[in-house]
């Protein structure tokens, strides 16, 4: 029977660490990290996410602001907001909340954020640094997964890791982070033989957005299972990408949904903002 990896508890520890480091920054350098979230329009999910980020920022002692233009804003006007924030010395981190309205090119907006203020870790330069193994701001969700593995006592070095999903936000950066930690990494997608690949994995990271796609019987006994999936079902409940009840019978450690990876994303956003403000502590 697997031990649960409590993402809420780990996220609370990360936020406490960041708060302590913020106090050091204030005392030694008179510096308070500043985070601005840009939220366009009234997407209900985005509002919830942004409120959670603002609450976390206040908890750790950051200055935090929200830019909230109407959904009718033009791409040029939104770029102007980003450029203004780029030049504001009080703003160390800029997060553009996705999705953006359809008439706006999200990639163009993200690429307009200065790489050193890109606390989401999505800028092409930060993606390139990750690929090259250079220091830079990392995407928050895979960054959080690496911390969860550490908390579970799972050193990826020498282990076989399977990442299910190849998105630019989670799957690809996750694979690169595991590779940097000396794991042997396989990235799976819709053309993969999932059952066979998962069965050989010491570490499974599921990030594809299909409820219970990863069957419990596929899990290698003793494997560590990280479920990034957050799928809202018809009854309103959340399910992950892993068949949790059966998987936990075989895994050594497993993240629940909710309460696993989700809280870590905001916690690592706080860590990224601190890094952006201070160059690392």
pLDDT tens figures, 217-260: 999 999 999 999 999 999 989 999 999 999 999 999 999 999 99
Is residue 24 in a domain?
no
Is residue 121 in a domain?
no
Please tell me whether residues 166 and 69 are part of one structural domain. no
Q: Classify residue 211 by its DSSP letter.
A: T
Name the residue range of residue 96's domain: 30-115
Is residue 94 in a domain?
yes
**What tens digit of pLDDT does each residue of 27-85 get?**
999 999 999 999 999 998 899 989 999 999 999 999 999 999 999 999 999 999 999 99
Please tell me whether residues 164 and 198 are part of one structural domain. yes
Please tell me whether residues 97 and 169 are part of one structural domain. no
Is residue 120 in a domain?
no
Q: CA-to-CA distance for 258 and 229, rounded, in angstroms?
A: 9
Specify the number of domains making up the chain: 2
- Which residues make Cβ contacts (< 8 Å) with residue 215, sequence separation at least 6? 195, 243, 246, 247
Please tell me whether residues 163 and 85 are part of one structural domain. no
Residues assigned a catalytic role = 53, 97, 120
Please tell me whether residues 199 and 110 are part of one structural domain. no
- Which residues make Cβ contacts (< 8 Å) with residue 7, sequence separation at least 6? 144, 148, 255, 256, 259, 260, 261, 262, 263, 264
Please tell me whether residues 106 and 171 are part of one structural domain. no
E strands, the chain, in order: 3-4, 34-38, 63-67, 93-96, 160-164, 184-188, 203-206, 224-227, 231-232, 238-239, 253-254
**What tens digit of pLDDT does each residue of 257-280 get?**
999 999 999 999 999 999 999 986
Q: CA-to-CA distance for 218 and 209, rounded, in angstroms?
A: 18
Q: CA-to-CA distance for 170 and 205, rounded, in angstroms?
A: 10
* CATH code assigned at 163: 3.40.50.720
The pLDDT assigned to 281 comes to 46
Say whether pTM exceeds 0.85.
Answer: yes
Please tell me whether residues 158 and 83 are part of one structural domain. no
Is residue 257 in a domain?
yes
Length of the chain: 281
């Amino acid at each position: 029977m697997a031990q649960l990896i409590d993402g809420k508890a780990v996220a609370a520890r990360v936020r406490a660490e960041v708060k302590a480091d913020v106090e050091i920054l204030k005392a030694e350098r008179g510096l308070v990290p500043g985070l601005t979230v840009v939220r366009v329009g009234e997407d209900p999910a985005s509002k919830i996410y942004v409120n959670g980020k603002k609450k976390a920022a206040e908890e750790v002692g950051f200055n935090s602001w929200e830019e909230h233009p109407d959904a009718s804003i033009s791409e040029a006007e939104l770029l102007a907001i980003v450029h203004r924030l780029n030049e504001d010395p009080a703003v160390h981190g800029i997060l553009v909340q996705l999705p953006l309205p359809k008439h706006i090119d999200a990639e163009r907006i993200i690429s307009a954020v200065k790489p050193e203020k890109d606390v989401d870790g999505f800028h092409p330069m930060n993606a390139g640094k990750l690929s090259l193994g250079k220091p830079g701001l990392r995407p928050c969700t895979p960054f959080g997964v690496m911390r969860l593995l550490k908390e579970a006592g799972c050193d990826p070095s020498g282990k076989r890791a399977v990442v299910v999903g190849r998105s630019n936000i989670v799957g690809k950066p996750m694979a690169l982070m595991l590779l940097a930690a000396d794991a042997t990494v396989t990235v799976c997608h819709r053309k993969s033989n999932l059952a066979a690949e998962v069965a050989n994995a010491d570490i499974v990271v599921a990030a594809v957005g299909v409820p219970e796609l990863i069957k419990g019987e596929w899990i290698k006994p003793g494997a560590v299972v990280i479920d990034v999936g957050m799928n809202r079902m018809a009854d309103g409940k959340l399910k992950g990408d892993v068949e949790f009840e059966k998987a936990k019978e075989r895994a050594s450690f497993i993240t629940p949904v909710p309460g696993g990876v989700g809280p870590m994303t905001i916690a690592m956003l706080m860590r990224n903002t601190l890094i952006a403000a201070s160059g690392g502590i």
